[in-house]
Amino acid sequence: MLIVTNRIQVNEGFEDRFERRGEQVEREQIPGRIYFALLKSDERGVYVNMSMWESREAFQAWRGSDAFKRSHSDGPPDGAVAGRPQLTVAEVIYSEGSITT
């Protein structure tokens, strides 16, 4: 199993638009994706996209897919995001419990 996080710093005044966009974009069913969540940090303006994947291959297949292109074609408006998102890809070594929505 693979967990992918993408930390994004959203500038003040763009938070509501960012949250609404995240809700719309990520509703699509994607083969191999087990779970997706948009997290709002306690740190002002910091959001984390978190997804769980059956395998690294499933994640890589999505990154090369039309669904990936669609989800990234309409990026946030100019000035909405500070800096570059910070992507982390990690293979699960040990886990306990289950994810519920």
Structure token digits, residue 78: 């100019």
* Closest residue by Cα to residue 4 from 47, 48, 40, 43: 48
Does some domain include residue 101? no
CA atoms within 13 A on the CB side of 91: 5
**Average pLDDT for 88-97:** 94
Does some domain include residue 80? yes
pLDDT band, very low/low/confident/very high, at 4 (cuts 50, 70, 90):
very high
pLDDT of 38-70, one tens digit each? 999 999 999 999 999 999 999 999 999 988 887
Q: Which alpha helices (DSSP H) does 1-101 contain, by range?
A: 15-25, 56-63, 66-73
Does some domain include residue 74? yes
**Amino acid identity at 6:** N
Please state the domain count of the chain. Answer: 1
Does some domain include residue 66? yes
Does some domain include residue 14? yes
Does some domain include residue 98? no
Percent composition of the chain: helix, strand, coil (DSSP 3-state, to 5): 25, 35, 40
Does some domain include residue 76? yes
Query: Domain of 39: which CATH number?
Result: 3.30.70.100
